[in-house]
Amino acid sequence: MHGDETVGREILLHLIDFLVTSYGHDPVITRLLNNTRIHIMPTMNPDGFEATKVPDCYYTRGRYNKNGEDLNRNFPDAFEKNNASIQPETQAVMNWIKNETFVLSANLHGGALVASYTFDNGNSVTISSKGYSRSPDDDVFIHLAKTYSSNHASMYKGTGCDNRQSFPEGITNGYSWYQLEGGMQDYNYVWGQCFEITLELSCCKYPPADQLEKFWRDNKVALIEYIKQVHLGVKGQVMDRNGNPIPNAIVEAKGRPHVCPYRTNEHGEYFLLLLPGTYVINATVPGYKSILKTVEITDNTSNFSALKQDFSFSEVSIRSRAASCPKTPLYQQLGRASAAVKPTLHILVLMTVVLAIFK
């Protein structure tokens, strides 16, 4: 995402090579690719990379795009109005997210060694007294982040970089680390119906070329195990009596509503990442009686398939209106005392320093 954080783009090129050359040879990769749609974008900020001429472990202006904007502060924010003007790179990614049914993703960075998960921002609705901004899917996010860190060569040790901050088990809630607004991870979760985590892959943002092979080896298993997690939980189709798919139907697990309810895609398909357990899944077409089904979810990721559970409405040709979720601070309407969570000037300054060091 940041042009001067170069390890991620190299690792993704290795990943593409590994996937296409293993297909038909490695049984696990063959089954993974037979059952999974994988999209890989090795760089979101090519201009920033071009502007970063030499290896440099610390922050450079290659972090920003040609217009000097930080792309990971450039997305609509669920908690406060983002005043930054949306950049072409960001708009292209937003179009891509809207156009596809992404379910699980990661965005890659350097400058630290940790798997960080949503929320990056927060308000009185989500922030606990411990300064942790919790999403309704916190358990799933912790599992996803741990899947990455525990399969990485050293991230799980949580020792951090040099004498900087350490992270137990190599994971952290984004807001607990430091608050940011306009990040892609929160955007994907709130508006993209996609669970995304942020992977910080190297203490040095732009290491020398001869270290790249080792970074790939350190991340290879973690990347594959992470991709498998897209098959966590439950998936299916919502149909009418004649078996025609119903797009835009709301499908959510009871007790974990999303601020903008997750809806079926154009094929009537839904995907909900959930840990093993018993859940009530609620399929709703506004104006009709909801269908509730109790499901017993097991970990079927090694079979490359979530549990399948379809929903059939007894009516025909019923429609669910395409309710576009407004790109406004959705949580602001739910929050009351948002002033209480504004960081003090002191903390703000500290955060700016941390920011300059890490990301």
Ligand X SMILES: *[C@@H]1O[C@H](CO)[C@@H](O)[C@H](O)[C@H]1NC(C)=O
Q: Tell me how far, at minimum, the Cβ of 83 lies from ligand X, in Å.
A: 4
Q: How far is 193 from 138, CA to CA, in rounded Å?
A: 15
Q: Tell me how far, at minimum, the Cβ of 274 lies from Zn ion, in Å.
A: 29
Return all residues near 321 (Cβ < 8 A) that are at least 6 apart.
Answer: 248, 286
Given a contact cutoff of 8 angstroms between Cβ atoms, the answer to whether 203 and 112 are in contact is: yes
Q: Tell me how far, at minimum, the Cβ of 143 lies from ligand X, in Å.
A: 16
Q: How far is 202 from 112, CA to CA, in rounded Å?
A: 6
Identified binder of ligand X from the candidate list 129, 242, 278, 298, rule CB under 6 A: 298
Catalytic annotation, pick one of 200, 213, 266, 269: 200
Is 200 one of the catalytic residues? yes
Interface pattern 2-21 for Zn ion (x via CB under 5 A): x--x----------------
Identified binder of Zn ion from the candidate list 9, 14, 73, 109, rule CB under 5 A: 109
Q: How far is 73 from 105, CA to CA, in rounded Å?
A: 18
Identified binder of Zn ion from the candidate list 152, 231, 258, 359, rule CB under 5 A: 359
Q: Tell me how far, at minimum, the Cβ of 139 lies from ligand X, in Å.
A: 19
Residue that the structure tokens 């937003």 belong to: 94
Query: Could you say which of ligand X, Zn ion, none residue 254 binds, taking C-beta under 5 to 8 angstroms by partner kind?
Result: ligand X
How is residue 342 annotated by DSSP? S
C-beta closer to ligand X: residue 149 or 282: 282
Given a contact cutoff of 8 angstroms between Cβ atoms, the answer to whether 263 and 192 are in contact is: no
Q: How far is 143 from 139, CA to CA, in rounded Å?
A: 6
Query: Could you say which of ligand X, Zn ion, none residue 328 binds, taking C-beta under 5 to 8 angstroms by partner kind?
Result: none
Q: In 3-state terms, what secondary structure has residue 45?
A: coil
C-beta closer to Zn ion: residue 258 or 359: 359
Given a contact cutoff of 8 angstroms between Cβ atoms, the answer to whether 270 and 238 are in contact is: yes
Identified binder of ligand X from the candidate list 37, 217, 241, 254, rule CB under 6 A: 254
73 sits near Zn ion (criterion: CB under 5 A): no
Nearest partner of 159 among 151, 149, 147, judged by Cα: 149
Q: Tell me how far, at minimum, the Cβ of 111 lies from Zn ion, in Å.
A: 6
Q: Please count the residues of the chain.
A: 359
263 sits near Zn ion (criterion: CB under 5 A): no
Q: In 3-state terms, what secondary structure has residue 188?
A: helix
- Where in 147-186 is the site for ligand X (CB under 6 A)? 181
Query: Could you say which of ligand X, Zn ion, none residue 258 binds, taking C-beta under 5 to 8 angstroms by partner kind?
Result: none
Q: At what angle do helices 212-228 and 27-35 cross, to 10 degrees?
A: 60
Q: Which helix (H) or strand (E) holds 286?
A: none
Q: How does strand 104-109 pair with strand 112-117?
A: unpaired
Identified binder of ligand X from the candidate list 166, 300, 332, 338, rule CB under 6 A: 300
- Where in 99-158 is the site for ligand X (CB under 6 A)? 99
Q: Tell me how far, at minimum, the Cβ of 108 lies from Zn ion, in Å.
A: 8
Q: Tell me how far, at minimum, the Cβ of 153 lies from ligand X, in Å.
A: 26
φ and ψ at 133, to 5 degrees?
-100, 105
Stretch that binds ligand X, among 25-33, 151-159, 201-209, 263-271 (CB under 6 A): 25-33
| Structure-block tokens of residue 9 | 């783009």
Q: In 3-state terms, what secondary structure has residue 108?
A: strand
267 sits near ligand X (criterion: CB under 6 A): no
Given a contact cutoff of 8 angstroms between Cβ atoms, the answer to whether 224 and 296 are in contact is: no
85 sits near ligand X (criterion: CB under 6 A): no
Nearest partner of 189 among 78, 268, 81, judged by Cα: 78
Name the residues annotated as catalytic. Answer: 200
Residues within the interface to Zn ion (CB under 5 A): 2, 5, 109, 359
Interface residues with ligand X (CB under 6 A)? 27, 30-31, 34, 80-83, 95-96, 99, 181, 250, 254, 261, 282, 284, 290, 292, 298, 300, 302-303, 305, 307
